């Protein structure tokens, strides 16, 4: 993730909030949020080297497989739960979306937009897309559920999730025109309906 990505997420988070960062990687986002927003939080991460990096980064990390749910975390204990660039690599997509809004008031998700025109062109040419946001070949990708913005919004509808805000970026710059076509990276902020 770039500083731009951190900035967008940070702008959505109130100071002193309680934040859970799922698939937190090396903990850099949480570290950024601790400094910029004085948040209190935890990262959840599976990979050993990332767990170590989190401890080195001075952020709390809980080693756990997100696919197994978030049993350690009681309901309604966070202000925000972040799932950054991880949704597309999850098998149990619906389950994690439900878990997110069980433990937190608001969810923030970012994912590479499969509807981005360059991705579409690659598919039209007969290849699976490879791009800075989807930097894998079809045979070594951790991504199992790539989706477009339309797809994601349809899932939110199905799960009775209210989308509060959406931001789309391409190459570190925000785009606002025909977003599902021109945006390579999608940011969503959502909450339970009603």
Give the interface with another protein as residue ranges (CB under 8 A): 18, 40, 42, 48, 51-52, 54-56, 58, 60-64, 71-74, 77
Name the minimum Å distance from CB 17 to another protein.
13
Name the minimum Å distance from CB 54 to another protein.
7
Closest CA to 29 of 73, 71, 49, 59: 59
| Cβ nearer to another protein, comparing 40 with 102 | 40
Name the minimum Å distance from CB 60 to another protein.
5
Name the minimum Å distance from CB 43 to another protein.
9
| Cβ nearer to another protein, comparing 101 with 156 | 101
Name the minimum Å distance from CB 74 to another protein.
6
Instruction: Convert 33-61 to b/e letters by CB count within 10 Å (16 or more is b).
Output: bbeebebebbbbbeeeebbebbeebebbb
| Cβ nearer to another protein, comparing 101 with 149 | 101
Total Cβ atoms within 10 A of residue 76: 11
| Cβ nearer to another protein, comparing 74 with 121 | 74
CA atoms of 40 and 121, how far apart (whole Å) = 42
| Cβ nearer to another protein, comparing 4 with 40 | 40
Name the minimum Å distance from CB 188 to another protein.
26
| Cβ nearer to another protein, comparing 62 with 175 | 62
């Amino acid at each position: 993730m770039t500083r731009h990505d951190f900035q967008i997420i940070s702008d959505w988070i109130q100071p002193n909030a309680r934040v859970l960062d799922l698939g937190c990687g090396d903990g850099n986002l949480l570290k950024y949020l601790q400094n910029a927003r004085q948040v209190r939080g935890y990262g959840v991460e599976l990979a050993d080297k990332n767990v170590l990096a989190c401890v080195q980064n001075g952020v709390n990390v809980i080693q756990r497989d997100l696919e197994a749910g978030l049993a350690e975390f009681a309901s309604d204990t966070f202000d925000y739960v972040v799932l950054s660039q991880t949704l597309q690599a999850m098998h149990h997509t619906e389950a994690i979306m439900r878990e997110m809004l069980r433990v937190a008031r608001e969810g923030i998700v970012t994912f590479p937009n499969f509807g981005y025109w360059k991705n579409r062109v690659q598919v039209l040419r007969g290849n699976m897309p490879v791009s800075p946001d989807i930097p894998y070949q079809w045979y070594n990708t951790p991504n199992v559920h790539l989706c477009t913005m339309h797809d994601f919004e349809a899932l939110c509808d199905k799960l009775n999730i209210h989308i509060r805000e959406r931001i789309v970026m391409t190459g570190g710059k925000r785009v606002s025109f025909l977003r599902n076509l021109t945006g390579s990276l999608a940011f969503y902020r959502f909450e339970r309906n009603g």
